[in-house]
């Protein structure tokens, strides 16, 4: 058998060869193109795995195939819309009667009455919200009215015009300098060249710090494909910064204490790493990351370290003076290159005020944008906005100068004590556990026996507003001066809510627990992200 097949095979191969040989010139052209295309497909697949991880890539791939099945995409869209409608109906009133056009005849000063009416219909926030409003007491008196007056005095100013609104320019410089002094600018260890700017909020401060670090690292180390590494607990503003500024972001799980895991972060550092981030404390659980260890890492790899003091900036320096055990968190730690601190949170300034600080002018220079070829003239601007509201800068100055060190110390004492009482109260509820060891005034708690999101729904029905957290499922209260008089009321409502859920587990009508529960578990994070975007697209 074999002997008869072999010659035939040889013959076949010979004729195939002579057949193919006529295409040889073509093959010379086609082969490289085909291999180039195959290489590109492989490369982008590897890139995807590199960016999203194996699990997310596989899930994304399977989902894409799955959606090709007729009817599946339609079904998913319909289910998605149901969830969006649910979020909408519980979060937003109907838009009946909302204006969609300028009125023909203006209302004149009567407009103020209408505004008062509308304001009165807002849900009550006094003492009821986590974070949100940090100033204590009644909205029509005390620190509130002082800030209102300061703002209205400067309502029509714009620090873009440095030569005109000199008072506002001075306020801004002083607010920045006074904040820098809280974070070690006067200490020898800081190098004495701390500088910074005011921004519209924590997010803008973070955007600026990331942008400056990116361009500083490009100038210093010629990094052109920048990457940054942050703990899972770092604020979502870093995602925003990375999306806006084309930086690859690595979110690394936290350690057992819910702090930045320095060893895990080290593993992600490579030649493209521009910066790492530590929070003091992080928004979700109010826990301070090991800033000194992160600083050592930053120094040894010659990369930037941003410390997020958005929440802690106007509490930690005072808590330390009061004797609370606060680990180092500022420019006295070697390796810290920038800091963000929100005056509009615990600084008790009006909303729209935050500060970004740098260790030296070399780094900060990369924040500015200078334009030389515009027919509008030579232009240079420090932050994202061009024209800026001078009123809130004046309000921030008023807050800091009116309170002084003693004012902040007194307020810090009050909220630290309220936070301790809340921690104690939560510990006494056996169904609940506190996440980690809160360093400051944020207390996050979850449960192993009941659905904490159902507890949150009951609390919402009693008028409280807390944000649900994930990994693990929990809720937190960011304690402000508004809460000092209502600690017992809060703890009683919390106890009641836990008992209600324990007796009657399951979703309540209009509750969001099932959605939060499900959203945490859906493996296709792309789908959850689409849900969020659809929600926002419907909401505004
Ligand atoms: C609030 C906060 C931010 C963002 O600040 P916004 O003022 O909301 O833009 C960033 N990081 C932390 C830790 C925060 O608490």
**pLDDT tens readout for residues 431-474:** 999 999 999 999 999 999 999 999 999 999 999 999 899 999 99
Q: 392 burial class (0-12, 13-18, 19+ CB within 10 angstroms)?
A: buried
Report field, pTM of the whole predicted structure over 0.85? yes
* Contact (CB, 8 A) for 480 and 442: no
Ranking 56-65, 330-339, 425-434, 489-498 by mean pLDDT, the lowest is: 56-65
Give the mean model confidence (pLDDT) for residues 311-340: 98
Please confirm whether the linkage preceding 162 is cis (ω < 30° from 0). no
What is the reported pLDDT for 358? 98
Residue 122: pLDDT over 60: yes
Query: How far, in Å, from the CA of 326 to the mean position of ligand 1?
Result: 20
In sequence order, which residues have a C-beta less than 8 Å from that of residue 59 and are 6 or more positions away? 523, 524, 525
CB 134 less than 6 A from any atom of ligand 1 = no
Count of residues for the chain?
Answer: 540
Q: Name all contacts of 296-302 with Cβ < 8 Å and 24+ positions apart.
A: 296/334, 296/335, 297/262, 297/265, 297/266, 297/269, 297/335, 298/335, 298/336, 298/337, 299/334, 299/335, 301/269, 301/273, 302/220, 302/221
| Secondary structure (3-state) at 125 | coil
Atom in ligand 1 nearest the alpha carbon of residue 342: 7
Query: How far, in Å, from the CA of 198 to the mean position of ligand 1?
Result: 14
What is the reported pLDDT for 93? 58
Taking the alpha carbons of 459, 461, 462, 464 in that order, is the dihedral positive or negative?
A: positive
Which of 133, 258, 342, 392 maximizes ligand 1 atoms within 8 Å of its Cβ, making it the mutation to test the pocket? 342
Q: What pLDDT digit, counting tens, does each position of 69-101 carry?
A: 888 788 778 877 777 777 776 555 578 889 999
Q: Considering the chain, tell me which residue range(s) the CATH 3.90.1150.10 domain(s) occupy.
A: 405-539
| CATH class of the domain comprising 193-389 | alpha beta
Burial 155-178 (b: 16+ CB within 10 A, else e): eebbbeeeeebebbbebbeebbeb
DSSP states along 211-262? HHHHHHHHHHH--SS-EEEEETTS-THHHHHHHHHT-EEEEE---TTSS--H
Which of 203, 234, 289 maximizes ligand 1 atoms within 8 Å of its Cβ, making it the mutation to test the pocket? 203
Torsion of CA 167, 168, 172, 173, to 10 degrees: -30
Query: How far, in Å, from the CA of 418 to the mean position of ligand 1?
Result: 22
How far is C-alpha 154 from the geometric centre of its chain's CA atoms? Answer: 30
* Contact (CB, 8 A) for 455 and 437: no
What is the reported pLDDT for 108? 96
Residue 162: pLDDT over 60: yes
DSSP states along 442-502? EEEEEESSS-HHHHHHHHHHTT-B-EEETTTTEEEEE--GGGGGGHHHHHHHHHHHHHHHH
* Contact (CB, 8 A) for 448 and 433: yes
**CB count, 10 Å around CB of 12?**
10
- What is 405-539's CATH number? 3.90.1150.10
CB 200 less than 6 A from any atom of ligand 1 = no
How many angstroms separate the CA atoms of 452 and 298, rounded?
38
Q: Considering the chain, tell me which residue range(s) the CATH 3.40.640.10 domain(s) occupy.
A: 193-389
How far is C-alpha 464 from the geometric centre of its chain's CA atoms? Answer: 23
Which of 235, 282, 396, 440 maximizes ligand 1 atoms within 8 Å of its Cβ, making it the mutation to test the pocket? 235
What is the reported pLDDT for 32? 79
* Contact (CB, 8 A) for 76 and 67: yes
How many angstroms separate the CA atoms of 242 and 201, rounded?
17
Measured CA distances, 214 to 110, 115, 131, 232, 540 (Å): 50, 44, 31, 21, 32
Query: How far, in Å, from the CA of 91 to the mean position of ligand 1?
Result: 22
How far is C-alpha 84 from the geometric centre of its chain's CA atoms? Answer: 22
Atom in ligand 1 nearest the alpha carbon of residue 281: 13
Q: 92 burial class (0-12, 13-18, 19+ CB within 10 angstroms)?
A: exposed
Residue 413: pLDDT over 70: yes
How many angstroms separate the CA atoms of 540 and 528, rounded?
19
Per-residue confidence at 315, pLDDT binned at 50, 70, 90?
very high
CB 480 less than 6 A from any atom of ligand 1 = no
**CB count, 10 Å around CB of 379?**
13
Taking the alpha carbons of 98, 99, 105, 111 in that order, is the dihedral positive or negative?
A: positive
Give the mean model confidence (pLDDT) for residues 5-13: 67
Query: How far, in Å, from the CA of 446 to the mean position of ligand 1?
Result: 22
Give the mean model confidence (pLDDT) for residues 480-486: 97
CB 242 less than 6 A from any atom of ligand 1 = no
Give the mean model confidence (pLDDT) for residues 103-111: 95
How many angstroms separate the CA atoms of 341 and 353, rounded?
9
CA angle 108, 114, 119 (to 5 degrees): 140
What is the layout of strands, in order, in the sheet containing 338-341? Answer: 195-199, 354-358, 338-341, 304-308, 273-279, 227-231, 248-252
Q: What pLDDT digit, counting tens, does each position of 256-310 carry?
A: 999 999 999 999 999 999 999 999 999 999 999 999 999 999 999 999 999 999 9
Ranking 9-18, 160-169, 241-250, 517-526 by mean pLDDT, the lowest is: 9-18
Q: Pick the residue whose CA is nearest to atom 6 on ligand 1.
A: 202
Q: Pick the residue whose CA is nearest to atom 5 on ligand 1.
A: 202
CB 454 less than 6 A from any atom of ligand 1 = no
Residue 375: pLDDT over 80: yes
CB 203 less than 6 A from any atom of ligand 1 = yes
CB 476 less than 6 A from any atom of ligand 1 = no
DSSP element (H, E) containing 279: strand 273-279
């Amino acid at each position: 058998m074999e002997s008869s097949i072999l010659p035939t095979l040889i013959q076949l191969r010979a004729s195939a060869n002579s057949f193919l040989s006529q295409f040889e010139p073509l093959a010379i052209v086609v082969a490289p193109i085909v291999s180039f295309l195959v290489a590109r497909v492989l490369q982008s697949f590897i890139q995807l795995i590199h960016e999203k991880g194996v699990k997310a890539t596989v899930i994304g791939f399977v989902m894409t195939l799955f959606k090709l099945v007729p009817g599946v995409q339609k079904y998913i869209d319909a289910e998605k819309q149901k969830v969006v409608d649910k979020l909408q109906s519980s979060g937003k009133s109907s838009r009946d009667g909302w204006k969609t056009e300028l009125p023909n005849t203006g209302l004149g000063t009567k407009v103020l009455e209408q505004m008062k009416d509308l304001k009165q219909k807002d849900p009550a926030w006094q003492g009821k919200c986590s974070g949100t409003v940090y100033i204590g007491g009644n909205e029509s008196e005390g620190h509130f009215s002082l800030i209102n007056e300061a703002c209205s005095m400067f309502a029509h100013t714009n620090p873009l015009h440095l030569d005109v609104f000199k008072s506002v320019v001075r306020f801004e410089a002083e607010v920045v300098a006074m904040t820098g002094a809280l974070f070690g600018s006067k200490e020898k260890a800081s190098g004495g060249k701390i500088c910074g700017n005011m921004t519209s909020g924590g997010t803008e401060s973070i955007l600026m710090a990331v942008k400056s670090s990116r361009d500083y690292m490009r100038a210093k180390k010629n990094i052109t494909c920048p990457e940054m590494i942050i703990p899972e607990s770092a604020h979502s503003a870093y995602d925003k910064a990375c999306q806006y500024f084309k930086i690859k972001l690595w979110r690394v799980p936290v350690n057992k204490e819910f702090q930045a895991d320095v060893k895990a972060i080290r593993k992600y550092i490579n030649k493209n790493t521009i910066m790492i981030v530590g929070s003091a404390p992080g928004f979700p659980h109010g826990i301070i990351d090991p800033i000194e260890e992160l600083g050592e890492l930053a120094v040894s790899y010659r990369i930037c370290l941003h410390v997020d003091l958005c929440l802690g900036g106007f509490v930690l320096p005072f808590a330390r003076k009061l004797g609370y055990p606060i680990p180092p968190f500022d420019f006295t730690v070697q390796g810290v290159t920038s800091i963000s601190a929100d005056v509009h949170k615990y600084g008790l300034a009006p909303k729209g005020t935050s500060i970004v600080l740098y260790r030296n002018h070399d780094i900060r220079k990369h924040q500015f944008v200078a334009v030389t070829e515009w027919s509008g003239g030579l232009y240079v601007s420090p932050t994202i906005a061009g024209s800026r509201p001078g009123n809130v800068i004046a309000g921030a100055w008023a807050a800091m100068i009116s309170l002084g060190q003693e004012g902040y110390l007194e307020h810090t004492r009050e909220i630290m004590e309220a936070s301790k009482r809340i921690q104690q109260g939560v510990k006494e509820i056996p169904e609940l556990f506190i996440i980690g060891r809160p360093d400051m005034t944020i207390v996050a708690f979850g449960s192993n026996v009941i659905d904490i999101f159902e507890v949150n729904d009951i609390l919402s029905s009693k008028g409280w507003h807390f944000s649900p957290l994930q990994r693990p499922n929990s809720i937190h209260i960011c304690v402000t001066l508004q809460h000092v008089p209502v600690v017992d009321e809060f703890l009683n409502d919390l106890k009641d809510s836990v008992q209600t859920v324990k007796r009657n587990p399951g979703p309540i009508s209009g509750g969001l627990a099932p959605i939060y529960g499900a959203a945490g578990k859906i493996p296709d994070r792309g789908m959850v992200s689409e849900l969020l975007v659809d929600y926002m697209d419907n909401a505004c």
